Amino acid sequence: MEIPFTVKPRPDTGLWNAKVGIWLFLASEVMLFGGLFSGYLFLRLGAGGEPDYFWPKDILSVPFGFFNTLILILSSVFVVVAWLQLKLRNFRKFQMWMFAVVACAFIFLVNKGFEYKSKFTHYGIKLSDNSIVEGYKLDDTIIYEGLKETTIDVARFNGQFLEKIDGETPKFFRVDSEGKAQGDAFELSVAKVQEIALEENAKLRSKHEASNKEKLEKDSEAKVIRWLPAMGIKQISLIAENEFSIKIKRKKLRKSFADSVKFRDQTSIKGTISKKTPGVYIAQVDRIDLRATDSENPETSSLVWNYLGNTSPYKTESKKVASKANHEGSGYNDEYQKSADISDAHDPKEEAEKAKMIFLGSRQEVLDNADSEEGAEFEKLLNQYVKKWKDKDGEKYESYSPILVPWDDVKLYSNFTPKWNTFYAIYFTLTGLHGLHVLIGAIVLLWFALFGKKLYDKDPEHMANRVEVGGLFWHFVDLVWIFLFPILYLM
Amino acid sequence: MADTPEEIQKHLKLYWKVGYVLLFCTVLTVGVTYIPVIGDNIWLGLGIAAFKAGLVALIFMHLNSEKPMIYKVLVYTVFFAIGMMFLTLLAMYDPIISPFNR
């Protein structure tokens, strides 16, 4: 079938059809991104600063964003040049320029990938007094000991906790209403739980039906409720043959309490947190932010100062084990020792003191100048990088202090994803959606370059129009980035 | 759109020129953030971005010489997009939740 107006303009609009189509589509895209931009505006203006949420500034790498902007602008020029080559009836050159566009898109996306990765491996902890520490190499391993009494949600049980048992998996007993073990010990599994539920439900059902029958015998008009699955057993209480312990990443848990632990499938087990894992550990703190802290004098009373420089006993122990294993296994390895942990190269306590000195030193400096330089300086005031300092010889080097925040003092911790703050929520939404546009646009343009020859030979003007439509989309993608770059990276 | 080879060559030159201007403006956008204070850098940055967007839309997307129908579509789009931003701003000034009224 011949589609009309692919080349010749339609008399009423004066345009070939695809052009009307792409502009209507771009109009809807303007509304889509417009909505997200106004979402950005709302969040940014709503981040009122003290005492709530401070809009993060200067946390994206400007060179990365700058380079990506140049790449996209170049690709925009390339795409329009490619289209003109079609107009000049030069398919080879068209292909060449189109490949250049796709290469630009590829570089852009790889670049973006690096940026995303740097966010996924960077962590933050919000303490209970609203102080914030950020850094690398977070360890949220939590070990629960003395676990025995277990409650299982029949419908949701997925056996996750069984995989996380540190050591041998014990057998379990059913528990009667007084909490005493009954029957034989059995190996716990999803199938076993279903089996118990079936057995239990059969008992409950026959009991229910017997009581119904009795009611009806007494009074044939009596209203009875028939058995419904919802009347079945919901939870099963179990007790382990002997105490066991569990080692798991805290973020994999639903809830963690001092005296019990709850898994995502609602399995709840009573036990205590091991002293080996007293809290969340960051090996290399690179930023401290006390702007939103509750304490009156963050210089002295912030919780950060209590915990900065503390290392995790779990880490220390596991390292010992590792180096021992290394020593025995393949001979003592000096290189391995050095690279095992950067923070090991220095005394953590001493580093914490230095970090504090530098942090508070520069704060004082800014405070001293506060009369003359207000406003803008406040951002710097309590938002210092602590990773660079001078040692006694005046030599500058990068170093990081560790921190161990006890579980009770952790309000929130996360890597830099939408969970961490509003900025990353809108940042990932905007750049993610834009990245998707780059990807899809590049695929379409690559398609034209690879498989466009047939149409070009048949009707070159039709091909040129197709490329123009693809190009219009590509320019729009560039246009969105032109605004994204300054608002996300520079402001 | 011009169709003779000579005119196309002219356009080719124009597109490269615009490309250079856009690259220069990007350098400028980053540059102004390092200059301490010339008025308000935020508005300056957005102003440059708007200028760049204008160039892309007018030259690369040929909006400098399009048919009336496309302008009609875009006038509505721009009107509603700006309206949407304005609604957001109105919400910011809601007397109950406004952070500016605390």
At A99 the pLDDT is 97
Highest mean pLDDT among A2-16, A323-337, A386-400, A458-472: A458-472
**Six-digit token string for A43:** 């969040």
Query: Does residue A417 surpass a pLDDT of 60?
Result: yes
**Integer angstrom CA distances of residue A42 from A37, A292, A473, A479:** 9, 20, 27, 21
Q: Which residues on chain B are in Cβ contact (under 8 Å) with A483?
A: 46, 49, 53
CB-CB: which of B3, B26, B87 is closest to A69?
A: B26
Contact A478 B45 (CB under 8 A): no
Q: Which residues on chain A are in Cβ contact (under 8 Å) with B56?
A: 76, 475, 478-479, 482
CB A418 within 8 A of CB A424: yes
Pairing of strands A141-153, A396-398: unpaired
- Using CA of residue A54, residue A59, residue A62, residue A67, what is the dihedral sign? negative
CA dihedral A65, A69, A70, A72 (to 10 degrees): 130
**Integer angstrom CA distances of residue B33 from A69, A401, B39, B48:** 16, 31, 11, 12
At A167 the pLDDT is 86
**Nearest residue on chain A to B9, judged by CA atoms?**
A84
Q: Which residues on chain A are in Cβ contact (under 8 Å) with B49?
A: 482-483, 485-486
At B97 the pLDDT is 56
CB A471 within 8 A of CB A79: yes
Q: Could you tell me the pTM of the whole model? A: 0.82
3-state secondary structure at position A173: strand
Q: Residue A401 CB: number of other CB atoms within 10 A?
A: 30
Q: Which residues on chain A are in Cβ contact (under 8 Å) with B5?
A: 88
3-state secondary structure at position A9: coil
Contact A30 B81 (CB under 8 A): yes
Query: Alpha helices of A341-390 — where are they, by DSSP H?
Result: 348-368, 376-381
Tens of pLDDT, residues A351-362: 777 777 666 666
CB A420 within 8 A of CB A251: no
Q: Which residues on chain B are in Cβ contact (under 8 Å) with A31?
A: 77, 80-81, 84
Cβ–Cβ contact B35 with A under 8 A: no
Domain ranges of chain B: 1-65, 66-102
Cβ–Cβ contact B36 with A under 8 A: no
CB A119 within 8 A of CB A60: no
* ipTM of the shown complex: 0.90
Which residue segments constitute the domains of chain A, with CATH numbers given?
17-120+419-490 (1.20.120.80), 126-140+280-415 (no CATH), 141-273 (no CATH)
- Which range has the worst mean pLDDT, A114-128, A239-253, A307-321, A465-479? A307-321
Highest mean pLDDT among A96-110, A196-210, A365-379: A96-110
The CB-based long-range contact list for A443-446 (8 Å cut-off, 24+ gap) reads: A444/A470, A444/A473, A445/A79, A445/A98, A445/A101, A445/A102, A445/A105, A445/A470, A445/A474, A446/A98, A446/A99, A446/A102
Could you say which DSSP state residue A486 is in? I
Query: Does residue A222 surpass a pLDDT of 90?
Result: no
**Six-digit token string for A241:** 């043959």
**Nearest residue on chain A to B23, judged by CA atoms?**
A70
Tens of pLDDT, residues B49-86: 999 999 999 999 989 888 889 999 999 999 999 998 88
Measure the CA–CA gap between A143 and A140, rounded to whole angstroms: 10
Residue A365: left (phi > 0), alpha (psi -120 to 50), or beta? alpha
Query: To the nearest whole angstrom, how far is the Cα of A8 from the nearest Cα of chain B?
Result: 13
**Six-digit token string for B91:** 């919400």
- Using CA of residue A248, residue A249, residue A252, residue A254, what is the dihedral sign? positive
In chain B, positions 58-87, which contact chain A (CB-CB < 8 Å)?
A: 60-61, 67-70, 73-74, 76-78, 80-81, 84-85, 87
Nearest to A318 by CA among A284, A277, A289, A352: A277
Contact B23 A74 (CB under 8 A): yes
Q: Residue A398 CB: number of other CB atoms within 10 A?
A: 10
Nearest to B87 by CA among B75, B79, A483: B79
Angle at B13 between CA B9 and CA B17, to 5 degrees: 165
Q: Which residues on chain A are in Cβ contact (under 8 Å) with B16?
A: 77, 81
At A104 the pLDDT is 97
